[in-house]
Structure 1
Amino acid sequence: MKIITDSTADLPKELIIKHNIGIVPLTIHLGDRSWKDYYDVEPDEYYRLLRKTTAHPTTSQPTPQHFIDAYSPFVEKGESILSIHLSSKLSGVFQSALLARSHFPGAMIEVVDSLQASFALSILVIICAETANRGASLSEVAHVAREIGPQIETYFSVDSLEYLHRGGRIGKAQVFLGTLMKIKPLLKVMNGEVQPIEKIRTSERLLNRFVELVELAAQEHSQLLMAVGESDNAEVMTDLLGRLERIPGISLMFRGKLGGVITSHAGPGALGIAYVKNVLK
């Protein structure tokens, strides 16, 4: 079984290689330059470019043809394909994948709307890869994806809501616009879109709130799978991760960096955590 996702999963390269995951990239546009997300520009370089420009970044989804090209080699070999993608409420990536699927009548292809983004999508992809490695069929793994995807909790904070606002991904978090500049907005991906949670006034309180949320989840489920990361905010993430790792029952899948597309909408300085009950025990 071949598992394919898109570049908004922000999967670290070592996990892409380990699980043999196919990545269909979105495209980043900044000023008069464009890059294929994940393939053409490293996160740290993109953060540097973003901080020094006055241009606002935009992104574009893959076309159905990009997915046809990604699926074709595996269809020709008779392999089954599980294609898991960014929330359909945040992008048209899922729709492009569905249109590509219709190009292969009779092929064993399942296309799944994760209702997630970034590290939460990564967690789902890895869970599916591990499930497939244990011998599950395509339909069984697709069922796992559709069942577990909505259960993953994703919380994040941004330095500025302006990137989400300009990029059209702010959702109901627009209620935070116009508040004090020093506010640290705590946001959540819920039902596939960005939702406001709290307005927090200090960085210390923000980190404590992240920890409180994970502690509550760990008390409920006893064991959690977790992924964390940031966009040009490594020192603060190191602090946060040190606190999170002291919580009993946490299994850290990886610490990553937000890729170009997600950073284009979240901005530099973002922090993100994603977790779900450990279904790989």
Structure 2
Amino acid sequence: MNKVIIMADSTCDLTQELLSSRQIELIPLYVNFGEQSYRDGVDIQTEELYQKVEELGYLPKTSAISPGDFIVRFEPYIEQGYDIVMLTIGSKLSGTYQAALVAQSNFDEGRVQIIDTQNLSSGGGLLALKACDFRDKGLSASEIKAEVDKLVPRVRSQFAIQTMEYLYKGGRCSALSMFLGSVLSIKPIIQVNNGKLDVYKKSVGKMTRALDQMLEDYYELFDKVDKDYVMITHSLADKSAAYMKEHIQNHGKLPKALLETTAGCVISTHCGKGTIGILYILTE
């Protein structure tokens, strides 16, 4: 049986420490300001993204990984005798999955396994970590894909949006919604359902109210939560992250690993500064 390499795209929002320790290869999507293109997490970091938006006054466009990018990254591992498991951002959210399938067709059947996470951010990151667990147990690439595919519909991802400015600039809410959201201090909570983003709840007032709502849902589901990994992922929302971690600890609802990660540039472009989420996998 061939050795297995786990790959993920940059929207998985895993820390460099996790990527290194779990031997996950990352392939970046792109953030484009006009004619200038940056590789997410390579040429530009989240804080730099926000600085550029403030300086230029507009949001960048994001773009998927090309089939050619995938081929260039796959080839060396195939030549070294590895089989590849590649996890991508949800196919309903980006063209990255389709591009990966095109690249897959350039290699012998079975050498490259593509997983549509049907999710984004560390929702995909959770699945990448589980893929590593299966790899470390000695499963083949095809067996890893089969096991991870079973987990895909059990991922629960939700994010509270601190400011609606980025949703408005990105064309995802109207000027009226933006105005009312600002006046009423509405904090939408976005949830991934069937691979799409839905407004799950709307919190009014302080950000902590939105955090409490997400935490209450987590506590209610805690007995059914896969305890291996729970993620708190945010876009430069350190205080909110500290609040959530302390809340979870005080309520005695700690998983084996409660991991804090920062959203990369592609995810941050669409959600804005201060966004924070809690992500986990439910048991069968």
Instruction: Output the TM-score relative to the length of structure 1.
Output: 0.90
Aligned to 1:64, which of 62, 67, 75?
Answer: 67
Aligned to 1:121, which of 121, 124, 128?
Answer: 124
- Report the AA paired with residue 64 of structure 1: P
Distance in 2 of aligned mates of 1:211 and 1:260? 25
Q: Which piece of structure 1 moves more, 249-258 or 97-106?
A: 249-258
Match of 1:216 in 2: 220
* Cα deviation, residue 31, structure 1: 4.6
Q: Deviations over 1:64-119 (max 9, x none)?
A: 00000111011112211101100001000000000000111335111110001111
Match of 2:44 in 1: 41
Secondary structure of the structure 1 residue equivalent to 2:256: strand
| Residue 232 of structure 2 corresponds to residue 228 of structure 1 | yes
Q: State the identity as a percent.
A: 26
Aligned to 2:97, which of 94, 102, 109?
Answer: 94
* Cα deviation, residue 19, structure 1: 1.6
Match of 1:135 in 2: 138
Aligned to 1:185, which of 170, 185, 188?
Answer: 188
Q: Is the CA contact (8 Å cut-off) linking 1:88 and 1:94 kept in structure 2?
A: yes
| Residue 58 of structure 2 corresponds to residue 55 of structure 1 | yes
- Report the AA paired with residue 192 of structure 1: G
RMSD: 2.2
Distance in 2 of aligned mates of 1:167 and 1:99? 29
Q: Which runs of 5+ in 1 are unaligned?
A: none
Query: How many pairs does the alignment contain?
Result: 275
Q: Is the CA contact (8 Å cut-off) linking 1:11 and 1:256 kept in structure 2?
A: yes
Distance in 1 of aligned mates of 2:10 and 2:61? 15
* Cα deviation, residue 167, structure 1: 4.0
- Report the AA paired with residue 180 of structure 1: G
Distance in 2 of aligned mates of 1:221 and 1:233? 24
| Residue 21 of structure 2 corresponds to residue 18 of structure 1 | yes
Instruction: Indicate how the Cα distance of structure 1 residues 73 and 222 shifts in structure 2: closer, same or farther if over 3 A, else same.
Output: closer
Match of 2:257 in 1: 252
- Report the AA paired with residue 262 of structure 2: K
Q: Which piece of structure 1 moves more, 99-108 or 122-131?
A: 99-108
Match of 1:238 in 2: 242
* Cα deviation, residue 232, structure 1: 1.9
Instruction: Indicate how the Cα distance of structure 1 residues 222 and 87 shifts in structure 2: closer, same or farther if over 3 A, else same.
Output: closer
* Cα deviation, residue 24, structure 1: 1.2
Q: Deviations over 1:237-278 (max 9, x none)?
A: 211221123333423342111100000111111111111147
Instruction: Output the TM-score relative to the length of structure 2.
Output: 0.89
* Cα deviation, residue 37, structure 1: 0.4
Distance in 2 of aligned mates of 1:17 and 1:268? 26
After the TM superposition, which residues 153-168 of structure 1 pair with which residues of structure 2 at under 5 Å, given as runs?
153-164=156-167, 166-167=169-170
Secondary structure of the structure 2 residue equivalent to 1:89: coil
Distance in 1 of aligned mates of 2:138 and 2:228? 23
Q: Is the CA contact (8 Å cut-off) linking 2:225 and 2:280 kept in structure 1?
A: no
Q: Is the CA contact (8 Å cut-off) linking 1:164 and 1:265 kept in structure 2?
A: yes
Distance in 2 of aligned mates of 1:233 and 1:106? 43
Distance in 2 of aligned mates of 1:8 and 1:86? 7
Instruction: Indicate how the Cα distance of structure 1 residues 51 and 275 shifts in structure 2: closer, same or farther if over 3 A, else same.
Output: farther
* Cα deviation, residue 162, structure 1: 4.5
Q: Which runs of 5+ in 2 are unaligned?
A: none
